[in-house]
Amino acid sequence: MAEIGMDLNRFILEEERKHPQATGSLSIALTAIETATKIIASHVRQAGLVDILGKTGKVNVQGEEVQKLDELANEIMIEHLSDSGEFFALSSEEMEEPIFPEKGKNGKYIISFDPLDGSSNIDVNVSIGTIFSIHKKVKATVEDFFQEGYKQVAAGYVIYGSSTMLVYSTGNGVNGFTLDPSVGTFLLSHPNMKIPEKGKIYSINEANAKKWIDKGLVDFIESLKEKGYTTRYIGSMVADVHRTLIKGGIFAYPADKKNPNGKLRLLYEASPMAFLINQAGGMATTGKEDILKVKPENIHQRVPVFLGSKTEIQELLTYIS
Ligand code: AHM
Ligand code: MG
């Protein structure tokens, strides 16, 4: 097992060495994500200040126009991922259609990402994050985005919380790295992350309970209350999933009357998180099928999400149809 404190770049290279046939493409791709998210992290850290300075004429200290943080994060991701030359195509929550970077013509991968998830939490100084999902380029058309989640080559997120952490998997377990802000390096802090078999927390927007389509869910949540569970709901998927990964329990965004397919997007929210939870020994389901087996039909498709410890997910499945 890799040593605590190992820096992310060395970790990526050592992982690459385990695969003698590897060309280094994935390592470059992951490093581009690392760089982009470090830059996003530094903007997130200044979010409050930018707002104050911005109000004086929409120009910040560097003389740049003040931009909404989610749009800025999107631009930073696009710039660095395109520039790496490893991505044939990019799709983002912030863009209607995917883009095919000039430099990525020979790229081996495609990537879907949510540049700044939970952005309604920016104004209140609550954790937000970036989520990404990488697949192989197969046909070199937009259809490459319609591959199931179990075919992901890598998936991960960066959480901009009380510290900045990058958590990712290439299908060989899950590892978490904490950014040392003094040197700007991600250091391995959470090697081989495993979700507890069972937790004590449920995480769901219970205000929607009357609108939930599957009434079995109401009974399931009641049963958790009777068993002494507590509730935590941040409203930033990255933060809620990060806690679930570490503490166990269940996180859910079910179908309701307002969002008949749930709210979360398959490609860049549900699927990468399902991949990580699965790699950490947990389960992720739409309630009807394993999230990783859902074949996407369009880029911004939504799915109901239930993910977490095995015990809670298996129990949930006995309540819902
Ligand atoms: P966003 O991508 O527009 O930020 O929306 C996604 C977020 C998730 O992070 C979170 O799990 C969910 O929306 C919360 O939704 P709600 O406020 O309906 O509970
Ligand atoms: Mg989002």
For residue 38, which of 162, 192, 178 has the smallest C-alpha distance?
A: 178
> What pLDDT was estimated at residue 54?
47
> What pLDDT was estimated at residue 64?
53
DSSP string, 255-278: -BSSSBTBSSBIIIIIHHHHHHHH
**Residue with the nearest Cα to atom 7 of ligand 1?**
118
- Domain annotation covers residue 272: yes
Is the domain of 222 the same as that of 138? no
Q: Looking at 129, 159, 190, which one is the last position of a domain?
A: 190
DSSP string, 16-52: HHT-TT--SHHHHHHHHHHHHHHHHHHHHHTHHHHHH
Is the domain of 186 the same as that of 238? no
- The CATH number covering residue 223 comes to 3.40.190.80
> What pLDDT was estimated at residue 46?
85
> What pLDDT was estimated at residue 122?
84
Host domain of residue 65: 8-190
> What pLDDT was estimated at residue 51?
59
Q: What's this model's pTM, rounded to 2 decimal places?
A: 0.95
- Domain annotation covers residue 218: yes
Could you give the residue ranges of the DSSP H alpha helices within the chain? 8-17, 25-45, 47-54, 69-84, 216-226, 237-247, 271-279, 310-319
Distance CA 144, CA 160 (A): 30
Nearest-ligand number for the alpha carbon of 118: 1
List phi, psi (to 5°) of 316: -55, -40
- Domain annotation covers residue 309: yes
- Domain annotation covers residue 321: no
Residue 114 Cβ inside 6 Å of ligand 1? The answer reads yes
Kindly list the distances between the CA atom of residue 188 and the CA atoms of 86, 165, 174, in Å, as whole numbers in the listed order: 24, 9, 11
Average pLDDT score over the chain: 94
> Which residue(s) pair with 302 in the sheet?
265
> How many domains does the chain divide into?
2
Is the domain of 172 the same as that of 216? no
As a dihedral over the C-alpha atoms of residue 41, residue 304, residue 271, residue 167, rounded to 10 degrees, the angle is 40
Is the domain of 148 the same as that of 217? no
Residue 205 Cβ inside 6 Å of ligand 1? The answer reads yes
> What pLDDT was estimated at residue 52?
54
In angstroms, what is the span from residue 129 Cα to ligand 2's centroid? 9
Query: Three-state SS for 87?
Result: strand
Pocket test for ligand 1, best of 77, 263, 307 (most atoms within 8 A of CB): 263
Is the domain of 173 the same as that of 38? yes
> What pLDDT was estimated at residue 138?
98
- Domain annotation covers residue 134: yes
Residue 117 Cβ inside 6 Å of ligand 1? The answer reads yes
Is the domain of 140 the same as that of 217? no
Give the atom of ligand 1 at the shortest distance from the alpha carbon of 259: 18
What residue ranges of the chain have pLDDT lower than 70?
1, 50-67
Give the pairing type, strands 154-160 and 128-136.
antiparallel
Please count the other Cβ atoms lying within 10 Å of the Cβ belonging to residue 73.
29
- The CATH number covering residue 113 comes to 3.30.540.10
Q: What residues does the ion ligand 2 have nearby, CB within 5 Å?
A: 114, 117
